Structure formats: C-alpha cells, structure tokens
C-alpha cells in the first residue's frame, strides 16, 4: 500500500531543459535565434529539434547534399554571381571542416579545388599582382 502526503499524489515528471527553453519566445543559442512567436508551428519545430536533428545537423546534411550537386555541376555557363555563390559555399564548407577538425589536409578533392578557385577569385579582386604571381606558379607546376 502506498501512502502519500496530502495533495502530493504519485508525482513523477521528466524534465527536458531543451523543451523548456524552446517553449520560451525569442531564445538565443549562439548565432541562432528561435522566435516562437513568429513560427508557424513552434510545437512542430520543438519536436523536429528533439526527435530528428538540431538546426546545425540539419544544415550539415543540406550542405553535404549541395556539395554533391555542385561537384557535378558544369561551371562554364554560370554567371559571376552564380559562381560567387558556389565559391561562398565552398568557403563555408572549408571553414566548417577546419573548425570541426574534419578537414583532410592530404587529400585532393573537388571541394578543395573549389576552395582554391574561390581563394584565387578573392586574390584576383584584392591583390591583382599577387594573383598573377600565384597563377604563374600554378601554370608552371601543371604544364
């Protein structure tokens, strides 16, 4: 036989700090702000984060898929703005890999080549003489 103090009852509750945090409006986590008031369905967002994946992991999956698509893309017909967008994605991937320690500094990959090309575009814009020097050295090595 169980005995309880008055008004206590059989009390057990699972406390999930993420759920409490997500139910509050306008919460900041790093650079991500979750505004439950502007969300179409804040409860659905909470469930996705708890049951599927964090925003960071979701973005990681999207970036990985975009890398596959862009690595197979013929860049010859792209406009400057389109090329810049792909260069920016390659730069993002490289920076994230350096922070997470996932960058393999010995493997030559299309992603690393894309990052080199993005760096060359930046160098061409910011230091035309340095750009010409680097291109000359690359041509000498390739030929």
Domain ranges of the chain: 17-51, 74-142
On whether the pTM is more than 0.85, the answer is no
Buried/exposed 38-61: b ≥16 CB within 10 Å, e otherwise: eeeebeeebeebeeeeeeeeeeee
d(CA 91, CA 85): 10
Cα Rg of the chain, angstroms: 25
Give the pLDDT of residue 15.
Answer: 58
pLDDT per position as a tens digit, 1-52: 555 555 555 555 555 555 555 555 455 555 555 555 566 888 888 888 888 8
The two structure tokens encoding residue 97: 């890999």
Q: Does 129 score more than 90 pLDDT?
A: yes
């Amino acid at each position: 036989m169980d005995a309880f103090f008055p008004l206590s009852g059989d009390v057990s509750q699972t406390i999930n700090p993420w759920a409490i945090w997500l139910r509050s409006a306008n919460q900041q986590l790093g650079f991500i702000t979750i505004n439950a008031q502007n969300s179409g369905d804040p409860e659905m967002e909470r469930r996705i984060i708890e049951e599927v994946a964090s925003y960071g992991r979701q973005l990681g999956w999207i970036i990985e898929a975009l890398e596959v698509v862009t690595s197979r893309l013929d860049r010859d017909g792209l406009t400057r703005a389109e090329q810049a967008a792909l260069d920016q994605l390659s730069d993002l991937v490289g920076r994230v890999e350096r922070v997470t320690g996932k960058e393999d500094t010995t493997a030559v990959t299309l992603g690393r080549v894309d990052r080199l090309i993005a760096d060359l575009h930046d160098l061409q814009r910011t230091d035309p003489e340095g750009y010409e020097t680097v291109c000359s050295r690359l041509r000498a090595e390739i030929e």
